[in-house]
Amino acid sequence: MGVCWVLIDGVGDIGRGGGSGAGGEGGEEEEESVKRSLLDIAQMDACCSVASSGISGLMDPVQAGLACGSDTAHLSMFGYDPRKYYRGRGAFETMGAGLDMQPGDIAFKCNFAYLGKDGIVESRRADRNFENVGPILCDFLNGIAIPSFPQHSVAVKYATEHRCGLRVRGPSLSDNITGTDPLKDKLPLRRSCPLDSSEEAELTAKLVNSLSQAITEALQDHQINKDRVEQGKLPANAVLLRGCGARVKVPTFEEKHGMRSFMIAPTCLIRGLGMSLEMDIVDAPGATGDYHTDLQSKARTALATFKKKTPEYELGFVHVKAVDDAGHDKSAELKLKFLKKVDNMIGELAKGLAEIEQETGKPFVICVTGDHSTPVAYGDHSAEPVPFSIAPVKVSHAVLLLSHYHHCFLSDSVMRFDEVSCAQGWLGRFQGLQVMGIIQRFRQSLERVRRGGEEVKRKKTAEPR
């Protein structure tokens, strides 16, 4: 039995505090509409079919009350306690961008940023539309020398939008240091500090501060930044070194869960995490991990991968980033637009999975959830739990998803995929570490029901008339 797991990054939201183009017009209708989250307003038909055909709940990706990052959330949902295994997001971003990580290396998830006067980070994101110049600047910085550290080398690789991965290789490095990112605009660029008293941490912090200064000096007079200033754009004259980390040492996903898996995730952070767990990474043409992504290509690629006989996959993980970007950009219009696009993709997946089942007899389960909430009112991750729904796949007439096990213990009364509706589901409220157990138990229960149904059919066929 196969599992198709769609993860909508930043899916959750909160009741609207007013307008932003997402509510009704005037009077009681508008007052009522601003109490609803964007996920409710989006009218996600395919996702609602998943919820109405299976069981639902609310998930705290790491723990209740924690506004977590995507990396710790995904680790948790894949069954790896981030309190035990997390070593910073830098290695994930760097591996996902295409740089290898060896024992002893450290890496950073980086932002191209605008550094103003007196060392103030005026904007942590120089520009989200950075695809044309980002690779050029990364190639320029690749191999940059670190003053006073001739034994250490630097590799830089473009990721997506304003992001890149950066790896430092050399002797006596430690990932137990702070980064240079102030985490908010209009604050001074931070100096890296050791988080323990070891010589390795002391040396690494000094190295990182020297590297940060060297990068800023190199970017200051780059022709691209001169041109950007003339065009009235912010110069990308600094790189914020975030989330220092080494490659995690964990059992593989297949070793831990007994399932051969693949991942479709152009977003380098998630892609690198999948690589760390030795999930097979599958590229979807035109899938970019940003607003320009081709979501239907992700659906087609996932279906084609499930159809393969060698290897035969039991779980496919499809990650969608653009919804989270819209939340960070505080755009209700964009978030609604991409929620609808994701819903169309899920509908296409459901139809395709049902066709595979009809052709091969292999049944499928589809699971839809998020990794955290990114409300447009905040422009950042928040601590609200996210909806979670899982259901068997079946297509009947115009209905995208219709469980042939409806009204049994594999279906609750939830009819919509949103925060309030899923809170009433049988799964209740649970933590991300429980997700893989829920998926496994749902598969096992569904298989028992199917075997029972086949046995009943055989007995009826054998009965004399």
Q: What is the pLDDT of residues 268-288, one digit of tens each?
A: 999 999 999 999 999 999 999
Q: Taking the alpha carbons of 435, 440, 445, 446 in that order, is the dihedral positive or negative? A: positive
Give me the pLDDT at residue 160, please.
83
pLDDT at 32 over 60: no
Q: Taking the alpha carbons of 286, 289, 294, 295 in that order, is the dihedral positive or negative? A: positive
Are 427 and 388 a contacting pair, CB within 8 Å? yes
Rounded Cα–Cα distance for residues 351 and 255 (Å): 31
H/E stretch holding 338: helix 332-360
Give me the pLDDT at residue 35, please.
67
Give me the pLDDT at residue 448, please.
85
Name the average pLDDT for the chain.
89
- Helices 90-97 and 268-276 pack at an angle, to 10 degrees, of 100
Are 316 and 299 a contacting pair, CB within 8 Å? no
Mean pLDDT of 35-40: 82
Other Cβ atoms less than 10 A from the Cβ of 380: the count is 16
Instruction: Give the closest residue to 370 by CA, choosing from 326, 405, 304.
Output: 326
How would you list the strands of the sheet with 428-431, edge to edge?
280-281, 261-264, 315-320, 2-8, 364-369, 386-392, 55-60, 428-431
Give me the pLDDT at residue 195, please.
96
H/E stretch holding 429: strand 428-431
For the stretch 313-358, pLDDT in tens is 999 999 999 999 999 999 999 999 999 999 999 999 999 999 999 9
Q: Is residue 408 very low, low, confident or very high in pLDDT (cuts 50, 70, 90)? A: low
Q: Is residue 452 very low, low, confident or very high in pLDDT (cuts 50, 70, 90)? A: low
CA-derived radius of gyration, the chain: 24
Alpha helices in 98-198 (DSSP H): 134-141
Give me the pLDDT at residue 117, please.
87
Nearby residues of 421 by Cβ (< 8 Å), 6 or more positions away: 40, 51, 56, 387, 414, 415
Per-residue CA distances from 273 to 54, 92, 105, 187, 324 (Å): 29, 5, 16, 30, 18
For the stretch 212-253, pLDDT in tens is 999 999 999 999 999 999 999 999 999 999 999 998 889 999
**Residue that wins the pLDDT comparison between 176 and 161:** 176
Q: Is residue 159 very low, low, confident or very high in pLDDT (cuts 50, 70, 90)? A: confident
H/E stretch holding 436: helix 435-462
**Residue that wins the pLDDT comparison between 256 and 411:** 256
pLDDT at 23 over 80: no
Residues of the chain with pLDDT > 90, as a percent, come to 76
**Residue that wins the pLDDT comparison between 68 and 87:** 68
Residues of the chain with pLDDT > 70, as a percent, come to 89
Alpha helices in 79-148 (DSSP H): 82-85, 90-97, 134-141
What value, to the nearest 5°, has the Cα angle with vertex 220 and ends 216 and 225? 125
- Please name each of the domains of the chain with its CATH number: 2-80+251-462 (3.40.720.10), 91-245 (no CATH)
For the stretch 9-22, pLDDT in tens is 999 998 764 433 44
Mean pLDDT of 251-260: 97
Give me the pLDDT at residue 465, please.
57
pLDDT at 123 over 80: yes
Give me the pLDDT at residue 461, please.
58
Instruction: Give the closest residue to 134 by CA, choosing from 154, 156, 101, 167.
Output: 156
Give me the pLDDT at residue 460, please.
56
Number of helices followed by number of strands (H, E) in the chain: 16, 14
Rounded Cα–Cα distance for residues 252 and 426 (Å): 30
For the stretch 356-366, pLDDT in tens is 999 998 999 99
Give me the pLDDT at residue 10, please.
96
Are 269 and 70 a contacting pair, CB within 8 Å? yes
DSSP string of 264-298, one letter each residue: E--SHHHHHHHHHTTPEE---TT--SSTT--HHHH
pLDDT at 404 over 90: no
pTM of the model: 0.82
